[in-house]
Amino acid sequence: MGADERAVGSQLNLDAVLDRCRCGDELAWESLVRSYQSRVYGLAYHYVANREDARDLAQDIFVKVYKNLRKCPDANHFLPWIFRIARNASIDHLRRKRARPPSSQVSEMEVNSIADCSSDPEKHWLMEARRGLFRRALRMLTRLNREMIILKEIQGLTLEEMTGILDVPIGTLKSRSHRARLELAEKVLALSQGQEGAGL
């Protein structure tokens, strides 16, 4: 999978934008932020499962990216690079949060997906409800299985790219990959059957 396929909405080619960013071009940096903010926010949200935390976290991630722009690789390796930074920041955030749990549990409103371009509101609502179910199921998985789903199935990284991010051998990831998908499907099934049982 090439970089261009995965880059979001950028007119200039990513290598050119990255070159300009490395030289301190503020417009190029703005374009880069706009191109990747929904992916980075999406990643952070699925790690921390809270909109406000995810937004703060995504901002911190971009500050980290900015400070490391000079070390950033070429376009083909940019997405895994930015995701590695995002993933490590997310894990740090969870670790800090575990050390200091929140005093009250605020009920979390669901976020809106960008991918949804359906014009039919009813269909939109149904799909959003369905994605909500997938998100709840995702939170029920073990950590490695959850990360497998977030990085591979949701963000579309390859197993090769993931070994660099998770520091787990590729063989382990290979054998985990199907188990994680199956486990998620089982949780989704259990949740949706529970909903039917409750008359929803």
Partner 1 sequence: MSCSDLAERLELVLGEQLRDNELTALKAHVEGCEKCRDLLQACRGKQTLEQADSLVGEVLARTSGSTCSRVRSMLCDHVDQSLHEDNAALVQEHLNYCSSCTQLARVLEESAVALPQMASLDPGPLFTSSVLAATRSSQPPDKWALFLSHLSLVFQRPHFSLEAAYVGALLVFLVFGGAPVSAVGGVASAAFAGFQLNFAKVVRDTPAGLSDTWTDLYGSCENQLEGKIKATQGAVGRALETLQGSAEQLRAMSDEHLLKHAAALFQDATEKYEEYSRNLGSTEGSEDRPEETAE
Asked if residues 110 and 128 have their Cβ atoms less than 8 Å apart, the reply is: yes
Contacts of 120 (CB under 8 A, 6+ apart): none
Tokens 């290979």, residue?
174
Q: Mask of contacts with partner 1, 140-159, x by CB under 8 A?
A: ---------x---xxxx---
Q: Give the whole-angstrom CA distance, residue 93 versus residue 87.
A: 10
Q: Mask of contacts with partner 1, 45-84, x by CB under 8 A?
A: xx-------xx--xx--xx--xx-xx--------------
Write out the binding residues for partner 1, residues 19-48 only, by CB under 8 A.
21-24, 26, 29-30, 33-34, 37-39, 41-42, 45-46
Q: Name the minimum Å distance from CB 107 to partner 1.
A: 18
The reply to whether 188 sits near partner 1 by the rule CB under 8 A is: yes
Measured N-to-C along each axis, helices 51-67 and 78-99 cross at an angle, to the nearest 10 degrees, of 130
Nearest to 61 by CA among 37, 96, 27, 94: 37
Asked if residues 75 and 3 have their Cβ atoms less than 8 Å apart, the reply is: yes
Residues that bind partner 1 (CB under 8 A): 8, 21-24, 26, 29-30, 33-34, 37-39, 41-42, 45-46, 54-55, 58-59, 62-63, 66-67, 69-70, 111-116, 127, 130-131, 134-135, 149, 153-156, 177-178, 181-182, 184-186, 188-189
